[in-house]
């Protein structure tokens, strides 16, 4: 009999995972505790912007014309427990307010709500990013609270999807990592992932702590690469070097690699910043904080870039206060191809300049609604051209393709002063200079 899969939590991770599981041929039921989310998903609407996800969802959600009907949504734990053989926990683990540690309350309450409804044999699989040691604790909880006949087991299967590439990363992952305690769990997870494994995704079987650590260490490594290149950008600025050339040159060494070496205003979003902080907090609890003191520096280099961008803007405008200066900001999301503005470096820079008296106008292709609700006092425009009109300086802060394709000559017609600062090192300096702009970027010699 074909496996039936449930997905608990239908945010970024859960909505994508549920649709991907249906795409792989399984019968899937998703659960969320927020009724509006469930209503939207039942209509085949995605609660956030993610390329390809809506199409994938609509292909499978029951009740949508022409769909396979393999994907359903519920808010009822009993229905979910009755339905599923394998239950994926995909709820979020945000940073605790005012602390570094991560908030496990959504994971804990998902397991607590699910446990009494499990029917045997059941496998509960954690996908959320959690502090190492959580799986151990949750397995003990399940053993105590699942019905005796449910024969419930836990496994840990971290998720590495990137926003903007969520569908591709879920259907064709770089690797699948499973932390298991029994052959039965491993066998079931091999069955779930048989298609991507046949297509070449490596399948790494390990214990609980290693599976949990793979996720946090991968994110720490990525954050380290970005802060490393941003530190080099500071050195380039101090010496007249060019960080873009430097990144290209060191990236040719296979051991270093070219990816994640784009200098600029640094990393943000719902994952990297909070994951490295939660990792440090957990190391402290384990008495291993010295091993991760370097992450404190990674975090502080990262946060410093936002202030450096503000200073670069101030200097480029001739120094002094921002009062009376019109500043166009291109980009609000923490990265392109997403509408996510959580801990967005772009909005942080825009907000700082606004607080210092600058008249800021923001445009973003997909993040306007979220940006407006987070920073209602900033100015907003309906297009890049409109944002730029009359500006004394243009800041490029999120590297959308739309901004790469802008015509600098056309924009040059509507500005007070042709001055562009590239906070993402992603525009073509020569094209902008040819159109009469002063182009400056972080870590590069400027005009
Ligand atoms: C990240 C991890 O990549 C992913 O594997 C994990 O599952 C979740 O966290 P995501 O948050 O979607 O994914 O974004 P990512 O593509 O990693 O970018 C993070 C931030 O780093 C963005 O703000 C991006 O602009 C910035 N970045 C990325 C740089 O500043 N320079 C780079 O070279 C690359």
Say which CATH number the domain at 151 has. Answer: 3.40.50.720
In a domain? residue 373: no
Angle, CA 214 vertex, CA 54 and CA 246 arms, to 5°: 85
* Degrees to nearest 5, angle at CA 103 with 98 and 105: 135
What are the structure tokens assigned to 247, written together?
A: 């990144």
Give a yes or no: residue 221 inside a domain: no
Task: Classify 352 in phi/psi space as left (phi over 0), alpha (psi -120 to 50) or beta.
Answer: alpha
Which tokens is 27 given? 């019968």
Whole-angstrom CA distances from 343 to 22, 149, 153, 233, 371 are 32, 45, 36, 22, 11
pTM: 0.96
In a domain, 75, yes or no: yes
Burial of 326 (0-12, 13-18, 19+ CB in 10 A): buried
Number of compact structural domains in the chain: 1
Q: Which of 364, 340, 336 is nearest to 350 (CA)?
A: 364
Q: How far is the CA of 26 from the centre of ligand 1 (A)?
A: 30
> Residue 255 has what pLDDT?
98
Active site residues: 271
Give the span between the Cα atoms of 308 and 303, in whole angstroms.
9
Mutate to test the pocket of ligand 1, among 162, 167, 343 (most ligand atoms within 8 A of CB): 162
Between CA 335 and CA 342, with CA 340 as vertex, the angle to 5 degrees is 95
Instruction: Ligand 1: list residues with CB < 6 Å.
Output: 160-163, 219, 222, 226, 260-262, 264, 266-269, 271-272, 334-335
The answer as to whether 192 is a domain residue is yes
Tell me, what's the pLDDT at 325? 97
3-class DSSP state of 86:
strand
Do the domain assignments include residue 14?
yes
Calculate how far, in angstroms, residue 267's C-alpha sits from the geometric centre of ligand 1. Answer: 6
Atom of ligand 1 lying closest to residue 269 CA: 11
Contact, 2 vs 27, CB < 8 A? yes
Q: Give the mean pLDDT of 238-251.
A: 97
Q: What is the pLDDT of residue 1?
A: 63
CA distances to 40, 136, 236, 339, 394 from 11, in Å: 12, 25, 40, 13, 34
Q: Which 3 state secondary structure label does DSSP give 443?
A: coil
Average pLDDT value for residue range 64-81:
98
Domain span at residue 127?
4-206
Phi, psi (5° rounding) for residue 109? -75, -30
Return the percentage of the chain with pLDDT > 70, whole number. Answer: 100
Residue 41 belongs to a domain = yes
What atom in ligand 1 is closest to the CA of residue 160? 7
At residue 120, the pLDDT reads 86
Instruction: Out of 16, 53, 165, 226, give the residue to mutate to test ligand 1, the one with the largest number of ligand atoms within 8 Å of its CB.
Output: 226
Per-residue confidence (pLDDT) for residue 446, from 0 to 100: 77
User: Is residue 232, in this structure, part of any structural domain at all?
Assistant: no
User: How many Å is the maximal CA-CA distance in the chain?
Assistant: 75
How far apart are alpha carbons 412 and 390 in whole angstroms?
10
* pLDDT higher at 195 or 120: 195
ipTM score of complex: 0.97
Q: Does residue 390 lie in a domain region?
A: no
């Amino acid at each position: 009999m074909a496996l039936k899969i449930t997905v608990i939590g239908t945010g970024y991770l859960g909505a994508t995972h549920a649709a991907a599981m249906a795409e792989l041929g399984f019968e899937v039921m998703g659960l969320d505790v927020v009724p509006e989310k469930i209503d939207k998903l039942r209509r085949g609407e995605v609660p956030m912007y993610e390329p390809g996800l809506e199409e994938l969802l609509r292909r499978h959600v029951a009740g949508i014309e022409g769909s396979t009907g393999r994907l359903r949504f519920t808010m009822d734990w009993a229905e979910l427990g009755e339905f599923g053989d394998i239950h994926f926990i995909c709820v979020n683990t945000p940073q605790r307010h005012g602390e570094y540690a991560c908030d496990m309350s959504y994971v804990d309450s998902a397991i607590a709500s699910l446990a009494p409804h499990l029917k045997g044999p059941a496998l509960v699989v954690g996908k959320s990013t959690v502090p190492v040691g959580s799986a151990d604790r949750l397995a003990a909880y399940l053993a105590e609270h699942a019905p005796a006949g449910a024969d419930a087991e836990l496994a840990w299967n971290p998720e590495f999807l990137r926003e903007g590439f969520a569908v591709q990363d879920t259907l064709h992952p770089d690797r699948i990592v499973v932390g298991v305690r029994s052959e039965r769990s491993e066998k079931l997870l091999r069955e779930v992932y048989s298609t991507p494994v046949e297509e070449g995704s490596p399948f790494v079987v390990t214990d609980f702590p290693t599976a949990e650590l793979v996720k946090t260490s991968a994110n720490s490594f990525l954050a380290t690469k970005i802060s490393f290149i941003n530190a080099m950008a500071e050195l380039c600025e101090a010496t007249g070097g060019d960080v873009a050339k430097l990144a290209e040159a060191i990236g040719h060494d296979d051991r270093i690699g070219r990816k994640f070496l784009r200098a600029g205003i640094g990393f943000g979003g719902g994952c990297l910043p909070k994951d490295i902080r939660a990792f440090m907090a957990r190391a402290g609890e384990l008495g291993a904080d010295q091993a991760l003191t370097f992450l404190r520096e990674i975090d502080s280099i990262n946060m410093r870039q936002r202030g450096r961008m503000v200073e670069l803007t101030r200097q480029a405008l001739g120094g002094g206060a921002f009062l009376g200066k019109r500043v166009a900001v291109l980009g609000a999301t923490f990265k392109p191809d997403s509408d996510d503005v959580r801990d967005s470096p772009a909005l942080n820079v825009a907000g700082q300049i606004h607080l210092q008296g600058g008249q800021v106008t923001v445009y973003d292709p997909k993040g306007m609604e979220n940006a407006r609700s987070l920073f209602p006092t900033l100015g907003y425009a309906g297009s890049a051209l409109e944002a730029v009109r009359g500006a004394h300086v243009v800041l490029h802060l999120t590297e959308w393709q739309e901004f790469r394709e802008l015509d600098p000559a056309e924009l040059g017609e509507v500005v007070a002063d042709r001055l562009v600062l590239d906070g993402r090192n992603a525009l073509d300096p020569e094209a902008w200079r040819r159109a009469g702009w002063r182009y400056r970027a972080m870590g590069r010699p400027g005009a």
